[in-house]
Structure 1
Amino acid sequence: MSPQTVRPNAAPPIDASVRRILALALPALVVLSAEPIYILVDTAVVGHLGAMPLAALAVGGTLMTMVAWIGTVVAYGTTGRAARRFGAGDRAGAVAEGVQSSWLALTAGLLAVVVMQLAAGPIARLLVGSAGETADATAGWLRIAILGAPGLLLAAAGNGWMRGVQDTRRPMIFVVGPNLLSALLCPLLVYPLGLGLAGSAIANATAQTIGGLLFVSALITERVSLRPHPMMIRQQLALSRDLLIRGAAFQASFLSATAVASRFGTAVVGAHQIALQLWFFTSLLLDSLAIAAQSLVGAALGAEDAAAAKALAKRIARFGAICGIGFAVLIAAGAGILPGLFSTDAAVREQAMVAWPWFVAMMPLAGIVFALDGVLIGAGDVRYLRNLTIVATLGGFLPAVWLAYGLDLGLGGIWAGLTLLIVIRLVGALARMRSGRWAVIGATRV
């Protein structure tokens, strides 16, 4: 073997045991859960200020959720690339992926700050529907909260490369610590210090900035070059573009489902919201398994072990199916309890039961789909995932959901459409797995 082909640092053997999968998935779950839990705390604190501040927080928080979604795209795109280099024994190269994604994240965060300072007012009025006190409060909250966007996106990039090198402990500390601080700071700023809604925004931005700085400090301690490399950033942008398009297709699906549900009346849209939020919660749990898949599969392909990557894909898919079946059992058992926790309206609970069989039925399928999504993202096969999602959305879900509206099929028709979306994605992902074309070996995927 020539000196040029010697790996700088031999990576550890790929461990595909259930214990290793859980060791990656559970800390990822903690990280994924930290922000939603903090949002609940923030909402509870601001809710006591009155209906107007709460409405402003709801509208402003929706926009910040979009920024967080961009962060998820950055994290997922970085994990697979970093994992490949780590599997090839090139930890420095894996960290370098983190450096470049951090430059990308910082640029996007600063751009968001500038845009929001200039356009917060018009955006708030557009979302609220009119000028007035609520729109003004929303704009004020956004101008402060958006200052945390660079930190939020830097943290996402940091999560990405650390998952790639299978470091799950530090990201958990870097995310949970600032969120705990912010949860303590928020009520202090809002009430005793009298800052009101602005105190919520300050606490939010403070936590995100501290988190971002912690991830930057981790990069510095790796002693790699921190200079930007435009070619690597362009490659990451191409990957992020495909993930963004895929995410936009999902957003169009959920927005359409809510729009159709609202046309069937308040009880239907209320029941749809209950089932959808529970779906998002289970998706969060299944997403942690997908993150483990990204890290392990990327490392196996980087180590040029396609057989191990394929074996991992099968094991993780089985694990996803087991988790999905477990959730289905819990959701079915909770049919008489869960809707009542969200609404006392008998009509809403009755409509929830219309969606419930579809919700239960899709969970085992969704468990496999989320697992295989993680496999394909870890393999860098994002273009295929993008195309599959577009086909499932435009060719399956959107026609089905609007047909449900035209034929007056109610909430059952909407959730049948959502199930169809999962089925098409499952068939496409299984077909891709069987073809083996996703398992491209090497430290990078061309």
Structure 2
Amino acid sequence: MHLLPVDDYLEPMTQAPTSPKALRRRHDREIVSLALPAFGALVAEPLFVMVDSAVVGHLGTAQLAGFAIAAALLMTAVSVCVFLAYATTAAVARRVGAGDLGAAIRQGMDGIWLATLLGAALVALTLPAAPALVDILGASDTAAPYAVTYLRISSLGIPAMLIVLAATGVLRGLQDTRTPLVVAGAGFAANAVLNVGLVYGAGLGIAGSAWGTVIAQWGMAVAYLIVVIRGARRHRASLRPHAAGIRASARAGAPLLVRTLSLRAVLMIATAVAARMGDDQIAAHQIVLSLWSLMAFALDAIAIAGQAIIGRCLGAGDAQGARQVCRRMVQWGIVFGGVMGMLLVISQPLFTPLFTDDPLVQDALLPALLVVALCQPIAGVVFVLDGVLMGAGDGPYLAWAMLATLAVFAPVALLIPALGGGLTALWWAMTLMMAVRLATLWLRARSGHWIVLGATR
């Protein structure tokens, strides 16, 4: 795989067209050029888990159950640390807009060092605590040994996964979403080959799956580091850790951590409420949630483009350009969300039998899916504005807005079983949650308080 210097991925900083139509076309081209590769890289992440599940599943039910428990713990840890990508994207993009690529890469290196330190701490905690963590999740006596084995080995890949998050943020800030797509694709292929080879060829069982994934993850981390280090050398940026820069990265990421934890709490409450409704309801909820998450990946790709473009505009002191991009991306969010909703409704008869042939689950599934489809234009705007404010470095507001959303959603969702509501009512509550997010994000976007110009916020 040939990786070009970082500069070769940067969009030409040409003079903005004066014609509104030409300006829209320019924004559209830039959004598409960033969002499409970002979507491919995002989809590669869940494919890792799918491959591991398929390989381990043929070893036996106990092994698959152990893998599921360990994977849930690992994915939770990594998803909570997604702020490493978001905060780094915004900080690097601002300095790119200011025309200081050396400072942009130094800022990115601070994020990578923070990821390395967090990863090492998580490994130190996970290795001794693996049996207790597995027990908390209720692993059976037969599944627990496999879960502990997989968790302990796979924890060695946590630093690599966090480095990948931070380095992805660096490249997104440099307006490059193609390299993450290439690396994610190569990592997915390597993971598949290594899993099959080590599990069956070498006869290592579930441990082979864990080692295969760890090797693939570190391979991805090394590939990212090669690109970033080459860019650092080209612009004479320091690779050494700087305490002040690492602290600044942590401060920028802390509000986004609160936002992410609040969002995870919403999803956990929804799943807990569905579980109280009965097996058919929780089964249908899991299907709806999986489809909702898949559509979220598509919408998040547009949000990633927003983070990169908005951060660059603000760093360049272009307030008008930031507003124009924000308006255009909202239009994209509405249209793309509507298209996703229509596709969901149209394809429902095709994919429902793939998930379940239980008529009770199917009966519960259809009305909930219709609610999700209707919600997609709202979701499109929410994801876009989320990306805009992240690109602006407006993390504290995002944290408070998500906490307020959680405060509204939690009592409504918890009352649904007591009032005799079912899965459809629960997903109307999820729609309310998205509507509250839309209101808080829209008010912030309209206020203009997020528009802070300069290389740093």
Q: TM-score range by the shorter chain?
A: over 0.9
Q: Which range moves more in the overlay, 269-278 or 112-121?
A: 112-121
Is 1:239 the counterpart of 2:249? The answer is: no
1:117-170 CA-to-partner distances (Å, cap 9, x unmatched) read 11111111221355x231121111111111111111111111001110112222
Shift of 1:10: 12
Tell me which residue corresponds to 1:44. 54
Question: Is the CA contact (8 Å cut-off) linking 1:101 and 1:157 kept in structure 2?
Answer: yes
Tell me which residue corresponds to 1:388. 401
Tell me which residue corresponds to 2:453. 441
Instruction: Give 1:301's match in structure 2, choosing from 302, 311, 314.
Output: 314
Tell me which residue corresponds to 1:155. 164
Shift of 1:429: 1.1
Tell me which residue corresponds to 1:398. 410
Q: Which range moves more in the overlay, 75-84 or 167-176?
A: 167-176
Taking a change above 3 Å as real, the CA distance of residues 14 and 440 of structure 1, as seen in their structure-2 partners, is: farther
Q: Which range moves more in the overlay, 367-376 or 58-67?
A: 58-67
Instruction: Give 2:273's match in structure 1, choosing from 260, 283, 287.
Output: 260
Question: Is the partner of 1:444 in helix, strand or coil?
Answer: coil
Question: Is the CA contact (8 Å cut-off) linking 1:10 and 1:88 kept in structure 2?
Answer: no
In structure 2, stretches of 5+ residues that fail to align are 1-9, 17-25
Deviation beyond 6 Å, 4+ runs, structure 1: none
Taking a change above 3 Å as real, the CA distance of residues 71 and 26 of structure 1, as seen in their structure-2 partners, is: farther
1:50-90 CA-to-partner distances (Å, cap 9, x unmatched) read 10000011000011112321442100110001000000001
Shift of 1:42: 1.2
Rounded to whole Å, the distance in 2 between the matches of 1:411 and 1:179 is 35
Alignment of 1:79-90 (within 5 A): 79-90=89-100
Number of aligned residue pairs: give it. 435
1:324-354 CA-to-partner distances (Å, cap 9, x unmatched) read 0001111121333332220000000000123
Shift of 1:37: 1.1
Tell me which residue corresponds to 1:5. none
Tell me which residue corresponds to 1:168. 177
Tell me which residue corresponds to 1:12. 13
Is 1:357 the counterpart of 2:370? The answer is: yes
Alignment of 1:71-150 (within 5 A): 71-129=81-139, 132-150=141-159
In structure 1, stretches of 5+ residues that fail to align are 1-8
Question: Is the partner of 2:348 in helix, strand or coil?
Answer: coil
Rounded to whole Å, the distance in 2 between the matches of 1:126 and 1:404 is 27
RMSD: 1.6
Rounded to whole Å, the distance in 2 between the matches of 1:168 and 1:199 is 31
Tell me which residue corresponds to 2:347. 334
Is 1:370 the counterpart of 2:380? The answer is: no
Alignment of 1:54-73 (within 5 A): 54-73=64-83
Rounded to whole Å, the distance in 1 between the matches of 2:296 and 2:369 is 16
Rounded to whole Å, the distance in 1 between the matches of 2:263 and 2:192 is 30
Is 1:423 the counterpart of 2:435? The answer is: yes
Q: What TM-score do you get using the length of structure 1 for normalisation?
A: 0.95
Instruction: Give 1:186's match in structure 2, choosing from 179, 195, 213.
Output: 195
1:282-327 CA-to-partner distances (Å, cap 9, x unmatched) read 0011111100000000000000001100100000110011110001
Shift of 1:261: 0.8
Question: Is the CA contact (8 Å cut-off) linking 2:66 and 2:139 kept in structure 1?
Answer: no
Instruction: Give 2:220's match in structure 1, choosing from 211, 222, 241.
Output: 211
Question: Is the partner of 1:335 in helix, strand or coil?
Answer: helix
1:419 is matched by which residue type in structure 2?
T
1:160-185 CA-to-partner distances (Å, cap 9, x unmatched) read 01110112222222222122111111
Q: What TM-score do you get using the length of structure 2 for normalisation?
A: 0.92
Rounded to whole Å, the distance in 2 between the matches of 1:14 and 1:411 is 52
Rounded to whole Å, the distance in 2 between the matches of 1:25 and 1:431 is 25
